[in-house]
Chains A and B, each alone.
Chain A
């Protein structure tokens, strides 16, 4: 099979399958959790739960990612904050504000938006890749992370890392013809999409629950979150 055909497969049926599988899998995961039953909280609150939820989300989106040193644990392990933070920032910048990625969104949801110039996105992706490598090394040497990491954590790392790496190689035409690189990028993306519901990469779905629970628990006690 030539790379043009591989690319056609990766952009066509494989992507289609991976996307639907991801949506299917995430829906399965989500509903198998939220249908487990939620007991009603009969405790009379001291503060507002809603306020707690709103405040915690605002802080989580607007304060902690940008000034993480307000957390006093930041000093104890800044690497994990900075590495993790930069990785996520890079991810969002690249897949939302990168031109080719925006066009994917546009084709899927029907509208597009302004994007950043290639050099900026390119630097961000390089930062993301470096952050990922540092996080992996950290995971291999930090005693706590060594203890809590199993094959699942490394597979998740690998399947997130590969699309980033192949994407970077594709932009810089390293290691083959454009469509071969493109095919490689698309295949790794498809594999990632399949892996998301099978792994903890799906944390972005449950994040909204745990964060809301946090806000609610602290809010009802009238404690700052």
Chain B
């Protein structure tokens, strides 16, 4: 029976190809990445420095793969990894890291720290040293198809209710549709208006779209966890659904991590994934508004105080949909739309992504890091914060509640839907 540590070490080693090794070797341990991390900024805890969060990955690589590292470990100059270490780094990585990759923006060596931190998670997941609530959510998604308990029946009932409530048609399991939309359970369960909004927009645009009862959950807790096995399992559910319906493209709704997994990683794990165009709803909105397939009322949101836009790490910085939301907001609120600083790819993370919001023990640091966001928003004096990620939105609504703020938190799709010209 392999020890927990050994399992983790093997997973680390397995993660380490030339791509990872070259980047680990490039690190000069200058510590600059700490200054980019919102958890470090908020708490000043040096252990939240990204370079320290991936310490075990470095140790595994150096001690297993390099002669010098092996010698150092033998001489006791480099610490060996223990079970306690795994537990400790599990806390650091799952509670105080959203894998937002801001650190990569400041690394003087340009190391893609976010992906190395994902490697850390892979090792911890392989050793099953993950927070209990996250593990429970993964198990739930494996068994029920959704971490938020959105079983077949629940999904069915919710969509029916949404269609009823907002009087919107949601085409289901339509074979031959071009576009398959996969919602996240966060939207279906907590922000149903978003589901209605997207449906309304796509119908208005005359898009041949559908949802799939097989591919009903886009959220990928396996990706949060870092387990390749679970990530693939959940990705395959989506891809199988798409294959069954014969669609050309898959639209990921407002969920960042899921978009990252499906758009930027799936093809490297599952070759069939490259048969589909994967696009985020933000991209779709940009396309529809830009081409004039839908018309939105200019200045529709100009009278409700300042509006600002929160860039999500996985959709904007790591997803590329930076310009579209701005183009749309400039139409919707040409006078009241104001940028926060920093913004775009340099934006500050909401603090709830990467599964952090699902981990109860992370609440204190999660709220602490949200204070950075509060300062940012207050600096521009915005009353409405718009965003394109329901995970960010969950963090925002929860924190607005926690800090008793008087902001409005708005999903961009909903804003577009509200401002549609009849």
A and B in direct contact, judged by CB atoms within 8 A: yes
CA distance in complex: A71, B346 (Å): 9
- Residues on A with C-beta less than 8 A from B34 are 144
CA distance in complex: A73, B102 (Å): 10
Cβ A203 vs Cβ B109 within 8 A: yes
A37-45, A103-111, A163-171 - interface stretch = A37-45
Asked whether any CB of chain A lies closer than 8 Å to the CB of B42, the reply is no
- Residues on A with C-beta less than 8 A from B41 are 76
Write 17 A-B pairs (CB below 8 A) sorted by A numbering.
A36-B16, A36-B17, A43-B264, A147-B52, A148-B31, A148-B49, A148-B51, A200-B25, A203-B27, A206-B23, A210-B23, A210-B26, A212-B110, A213-B19, A213-B111, A214-B112, A223-B322
Q: How far is the CB of B25 from chain A (nearest CB, A)?
A: 4
Q: How far is the CB of A155 from chain B (nearest CB, A)?
A: 10
Partner of A203, one of B25, B264, B271: B25
Cβ A33 vs Cβ B46 within 8 A: no
Cβ A80 vs Cβ B22 within 8 A: no
B184-192, B313-321, B405-413 - interface stretch = B313-321
From known contacts A143-B44, A144-B46, A203-B28, infer whether A210 and B346 are also in contact, taking CB-CB under 8 Å.
Answer: no
Q: How far is the CB of A204 from chain B (nearest CB, A)?
A: 9
Cβ B32 vs Cβ A210 within 8 A: no
CA distance in complex: A39, B29 (Å): 26
CA distance in complex: A218, B345 (Å): 10
CA distance in complex: A149, B40 (Å): 18
Cβ B318 vs Cβ A29 within 8 A: no
- Residues on B with C-beta less than 8 A from A146 are 46
CA distance in complex: A212, B23 (Å): 10
Asked whether any CB of chain B lies closer than 8 Å to the CB of A56, the reply is yes
Q: How far is the CB of A152 from chain B (nearest CB, A)?
A: 8
Q: How far is the CB of A154 from chain B (nearest CB, A)?
A: 11
Q: How far is the CB of A29 from chain B (nearest CB, A)?
A: 7
Closest 5 CB pairs of A and B: A214-B110, A206-B26, A210-B26, A209-B22, A143-B46
Q: How far is the CB of B100 from chain A (nearest CB, A)?
A: 13
Interface residues of A in 70-102 (CB under 8 A from B): 71-73, 76-77, 80-81, 84
Cβ A32 vs Cβ B111 within 8 A: no
User: Which residue on chain B has the smallest CB distance to residue A222?
Assistant: B320
Asked whether any CB of chain B lies closer than 8 Å to the CB of A11, the reply is no
With A42-B271, A217-B104 known, 9 other A-B pairs at CB within 8 A are A44-B267, A56-B110, A77-B35, A144-B40, A147-B47, A147-B49, A207-B110, A210-B112, A223-B317
Q: How does the 8 Å CB contact mask read for A118-157 relative to B, with 1 for contact and 0 for none?
A: 0000000000000000000000001111111111110000
Query: Interface residues, chain B, CB within 8 Å of chain A?
Result: 16-19, 21-23, 25-32, 34-36, 40-41, 44, 46-47, 49, 51-52, 55, 65-66, 68, 72, 77-78, 104-112, 115, 263-268, 271, 274, 277, 316-320, 322, 341-342, 344-346
- Residues on A with C-beta less than 8 A from B268 are 39, 41-43
User: Which residue on chain B has the smallest CB distance to residue A64?
Assistant: B108
- Residues on A with C-beta less than 8 A from B320 are 46-47, 221-223
CA distance in complex: A134, B289 (Å): 54
User: Which residue on chain A has the smallest CB distance to residue B317?
Assistant: A223
Partner of A36, one of B21, B72, B265: B21
Asked whether any CB of chain B lies closer than 8 Å to the CB of A62, the reply is no
Interface residues of A in 178-225 (CB under 8 A from B): 198, 200, 202-203, 205-207, 209-215, 217-218, 221-224
CA distance in complex: A109, B219 (Å): 58
CA distance in complex: A59, B268 (Å): 29
User: Which residue on chain A has the smallest CB distance to residue B104?
Assistant: A214
From known contacts A43-B264, A151-B77, A221-B264, infer whether A60 and B110 are also in contact, taking CB-CB under 8 Å.
Answer: yes
- Residues on B with C-beta less than 8 A from A142 are 31
From known contacts A44-B267, A198-B68, A211-B110, infer whether A38 and B17 are also in contact, taking CB-CB under 8 Å.
Answer: yes
CA distance in complex: A224, B34 (Å): 21
- Residues on A with C-beta less than 8 A from B110 are 56, 60, 207, 210-215
Partner of A35, one of B18, B26, B47, B108: B18
Q: How far is the CB of B15 from chain A (nearest CB, A)?
A: 11
Q: How far is the CB of B61 from chain A (nearest CB, A)?
A: 10
Q: How far is the CB of A193 from chain B (nearest CB, A)?
A: 16
CA distance in complex: A179, B341 (Å): 57
Cβ B25 vs Cβ A149 within 8 A: no
Asked whether any CB of chain B lies closer than 8 Å to the CB of A67, the reply is no
Q: How far is the CB of B102 from chain A (nearest CB, A)?
A: 9
User: Which residue on chain B has the smallest CB distance to residue A38?
Assistant: B18
CA distance in complex: A217, B320 (Å): 11
Cβ A73 vs Cβ B112 within 8 A: no
- Residues on B with C-beta less than 8 A from A218 are 345
- Residues on A with C-beta less than 8 A from B318 are 221, 223
